[in-house]
Amino acid sequence: MKPIIFILIALVFVAVTSFDNNEPKTDQPVLGTRSVKIIEVAGLKFKDLNKNGKLDRYEDWRLTASQRSKDLLLKMSLEEKVGFLLISDIRMKNEAGRQAASTGPVTGEFNETDVVTENNIFTGQPLPERVMSAAGTTKGVSEFHLRHFIYRGNVAPAMIADWSNRLQALCESMPLGIPAIVASNPRNLITNSATIGTSVGTTSFSKWPSEIGLAAMRDLKLTREFADIARQEWAAVGLRKGYMYMGDIATEPRWQRIEGTFGENASLAADIMREVVLGFQGEKLNPSSIALTTKHFPGGGATKNGFDPHYEYGKEEVFPGGMLENNMLPFKAAIAAGTSAIMPYYSIPVGTKYEEVAYAYNKAILRDLLRKQLGFKGIINSDTGPINMMPWGVEGLSIEDRYAKALEAGVNIFSGNADPTLLLKAAKEGKAQINYIDESVALLLEEKFNLGLFENPYVDDKKATEIVGNASFQGKADLAQRKSIVLLRNEDKSLPLKQGIKIYFETYQRPYGRPGNPEPQIYGNAANRNDIAFVSSPDSADIVLLWVKPSMRPLFPSNDKPLRLILSECAVDVNYINQLIAKKPTILAINFTSPFVINEVYNDKSSSIKGVIATFGCTPEALLDVVSGNFSPTGKMPFTTPVSEEAVLKNKEDVPGYLEGDAYGLFKYDEGLTYK
């Protein structure tokens, strides 16, 4: 009897363990086609993607993603596999892009012109060799065998949907019918620092607080709703992969990417990351998911002196507080939630046990730490340009040898170059080993199979218009904006403002590097609010509401001088601000994209400032709802703001502000008042 018992136990084990992301399917999916024929087998329908008149295993949606991937891998040529390992920019006809100017009205047709640059697309510095950052669409798909793209443009939802359908139809017409996947940077967040590779900026999509604002919101349920709403909007237009979100911890206040983090507390960032991944992807990657690429492993916030590793002078990441392990918490949460991909940063770890090469080349970081220790089984996607533009630590290697080292280290797909010529050369010469190439292609195929792209990559452009940015979605986003606002000081219970009090509301915002003061942005009676009496000058007001939006030196281009966080270095005329504050009792609101040092206009002894508010990406209406009492503030600070520039200079790059000591901060992490 014992052998029978063992057999039964084994069968039960196989049955239980088969219920994973690769479990066989039995329900007929909706098939979307433009050119291939439908095959019917046993009353079920399948797409004849390779046009051979029979059902191949990779075309059989009943099989697991792993089984289908293995079958398709055998059918792909080396050229097709190599093209599959690149993800590059893609544009519509006449659309401006990196190193490319607009030549007429943008349409949903293909751009057919290669974009080739001789300079680093981020820093503008000359490159040793020219780089094709985007290929003409038809050429890229048919000759280079590209199937992974990054769309950074900002057009109407219907146009994105129509263009996406055209792209998928082109891919379907190719010999194996492998669909494309189109990725994007964030599109749903209010930000003052949108730039290449960080955020698309203001779009037609629902508008939520910035990432740091989601951390200030402290509402995990609403965070999950944000991700689910954004998922629906993205899927409606055919964007199925997000280059987001950042698991980096905001421990170095001078780093220019803090607005894109979930703050300085790794545990809070981990909680938010979990909800974001589950909201976009679901419990398992499926045909309604947006696949996420969590970045930048193992965390880029501890960069030396706040410099960014897009620049050679910023390539070192340092850990004077010994807190490298603290960086891992958000990434562990993302892995546990099932993030589809992880992106390593450009940095070189200094003073650790790891090889001093950029993370994309660091085998101990990617294969040993990320895969073996942390158990990550998904795709490792390089950041844009470590091969051609930011090859820190391996500058002496040829391009072919860089590809080989990065593949061996664990990278599965390379961002920033649309031309597979040198990667193909490395493969043919045996430098880039075929087992690493096959390993990578298999993972990338499985993602596409799990997303249902082989069955139906097409979208309805009319529904896209109805779904993206609809009133219901924006209503949730409006709530999030209000919940992200933090009340920091409320002297004499000046807030909420009393009914009938006369208010002068001015927004001060000047682009970095532009001389002179901007024309005052005065929010007046045109706002059509019955609860607030606006006046047009501070002299006739009872109280001034002053909303200052500092502008840092941008990430691109930057320079090798450490960022200064005092307001006078962040496009703010502090004399103008102080003169305005001196006229009347003032509510001072600051939009914090970084932990600005505001001691030039405020300290705890400032008598004319009756209230201090922190915002992190919101509309004037959201701010007014808080100051008027229509919404009682609940937000908490996502980071500590340094009390002085001296405190900034003394900070340890990898240590969060709440651990820097009591004398470090003016507004502390987790600080926040309410009216109740």
pLDDT recorded at residue 199: 61
pLDDT at residue 246 greater than cutoff 90: yes
Among 467, 496, 527, the domain-final residue is 467
Backbone φ, ψ for residue 495 (5° rounding): -115, 145
H helices, E strands: number in the chain: 18, 25
Average pLDDT over residues 617-633: 96
CA distances from residue 487 to 96, 211, 392, 556 in whole angstroms, order as listed: 41, 19, 43, 32
CATH of the domain at 538: 3.40.50.1700
Backbone φ, ψ for residue 41 (5° rounding): -135, 125
Same-domain pairing of 536 and 448? no
Average pLDDT over residues 40-48: 97
Q: Is residue 28 part of a domain?
A: no
Q: Is residue 676 part of a domain?
A: no
pLDDT recorded at residue 124: 84
pLDDT at residue 2 greater than cutoff 70: no
Same-domain pairing of 332 and 393? yes
CATH of the domain at 205: 3.20.20.300
pLDDT digits (tens, 9 = 90+) for 143-153: 999 999 999 98
Q: Is residue 320 part of a domain?
A: yes
pLDDT at residue 231 greater than cutoff 90: yes
Q: Which DSSP helix (H) or strand (E) runs through 166?
A: helix 157-172
Among 601, 477, 494, 500, CA closest to 547: 601
Q: Which DSSP helix (H) or strand (E) runs through 226?
A: helix 220-237
Average pLDDT over residues 614-622: 97
Q: Which of 162, 383, 625, 654 is catalytic?
A: 383
pLDDT digits (tens, 9 = 90+) for 383-393: 999 999 999 99
Same-domain pairing of 456 and 536? no
pLDDT at residue 96 greater than cutoff 90: no
pLDDT digits (tens, 9 = 90+) for 431-479: 999 999 999 999 999 999 999 999 999 999 999 999 999 999 999 999 9
Which of the two residues, 526 and 181, has the higher pLDDT score? 181
pLDDT recorded at residue 11: 37
pLDDT at residue 376 greater than cutoff 60: yes
Same-domain pairing of 179 and 308? yes
pLDDT at residue 193 greater than cutoff 90: no
Average pLDDT over residues 335-339: 98
Q: Is residue 609 part of a domain?
A: yes
**Annotation marks residue 383 as catalytic:** yes
CA distances from residue 444 to 150, 290, 415, 448, 630 in whole angstroms, order as listed: 15, 14, 14, 7, 49
Q: Which DSSP helix (H) or strand (E) runs through 423?
A: helix 421-428
Q: How confident is the model at residue 412 (pLDDT cuts 50, 70, 90)?
A: very high
Q: How confident is the model at residue 218 (pLDDT cuts 50, 70, 90)?
A: very high
pLDDT at residue 5 greater than cutoff 80: no
pLDDT recorded at residue 17: 35
Q: Give the DSSP letter string of 457-515.
A: ----HHHHHHHTT-HHHHHHHHHHHHHH-EEEEEGGG--SPPTT-EEEEEEE---TT--
Same-domain pairing of 409 and 556? no
Among 227, 277, 213, 212, CA closest to 480: 213
Same-domain pairing of 492 and 557? yes
Among 404, 437, 467, the domain-final residue is 467
pLDDT recorded at residue 10: 39
pLDDT recorded at residue 166: 98
Q: How far apart are alpha carbons 78 and 66 in whole angstroms? A: 20
pLDDT recorded at residue 60: 98
* Contact partners, residue 78, CB within 8 Å, separation at least 6: 424, 427, 428, 434, 437
Same-domain pairing of 273 and 344? yes
Which range is least confidently modeled, 197-206, 281-290, 555-564? 197-206
Q: Give the DSSP letter string of 428-465.
A: HTTSS-HHHHHHHHHHHHHHHHHTTTTT-----HHHHH
Which range is least confidently modeled, 32-41, 359-368, 456-465, 508-517? 508-517
pLDDT recorded at residue 233: 98
Residue where the block lists tokens 């443009």: 153
Q: Which two tokens stand for residue 284?
A: 């398992």
DSSP E strands in 495-634: the ranges are 502-508, 521-523, 533-534, 543-548, 586-591, 609-615
Q: Which two tokens stand for residue 393?
A: 């630590």
Q: Which DSSP helix (H) or strand (E) runs through 384?
A: strand 379-384
The CA-to-CA distance between both ends of the chain, in Å, stands at 70
pLDDT at residue 394 greater than cutoff 80: yes
pLDDT recorded at residue 393: 98
pLDDT recorded at residue 9: 35
Q: How does the average pLDDT of the chain come out, rounded?
A: 93
Q: Three-state DSSP class for 189?
A: strand
Which of the two residues, 10 and 565, has the higher pLDDT score? 565
Q: Is residue 1 part of a domain?
A: no
pLDDT recorded at residue 21: 54
Handedness of CA 103, 109, 114, 116 (dihedral sign): positive
Average pLDDT over residues 648-670: 97
How would you write 328-357 as a 3-class SS string?
HHHHHHHHHHCCCEEEECCCEECCCCCCCC
Same-domain pairing of 442 and 540? no
Average pLDDT over residues 517-543: 84
Q: Is residue 422 part of a domain?
A: yes
Answer yes or no: are the C-beta atoms of 135 and 88 closer than 8 Å: yes
- pTM of the complete model: 0.94
Q: How confident is the model at residue 122 (pLDDT cuts 50, 70, 90)?
A: confident
Domain that holds residue 586: 485-667
pLDDT at residue 512 greater than cutoff 70: yes
Q: How far apart are alpha carbons 590 and 65 in whole angstroms? A: 49
Same-domain pairing of 443 and 355? yes
Q: Which DSSP helix (H) or strand (E) runs through 409?
A: helix 399-409
Same-domain pairing of 576 and 440? no
Most confident of 113-122, 196-205, 265-274, 510-519: 265-274
Same-domain pairing of 122 and 226? yes
Among 440, 467, 494, the domain-final residue is 467
Q: Is residue 480 part of a domain?
A: no
Amino acid at 4: I
pLDDT recorded at residue 15: 37
Q: How confident is the model at residue 513 (pLDDT cuts 50, 70, 90)?
A: confident
pLDDT recorded at residue 24: 64
Q: Is residue 48 part of a domain?
A: no
pLDDT recorded at residue 196: 62
Answer yes or no: are the C-beta atoms of 452 and 424 closer than 8 Å: no
pLDDT recorded at residue 8: 37
pLDDT recorded at residue 16: 35
Number of domains within the chain: 2
pLDDT at residue 13 greater than cutoff 70: no
pLDDT at residue 232 greater than cutoff 80: yes
Same-domain pairing of 89 and 133? yes
pLDDT at residue 20 greater than cutoff 50: no
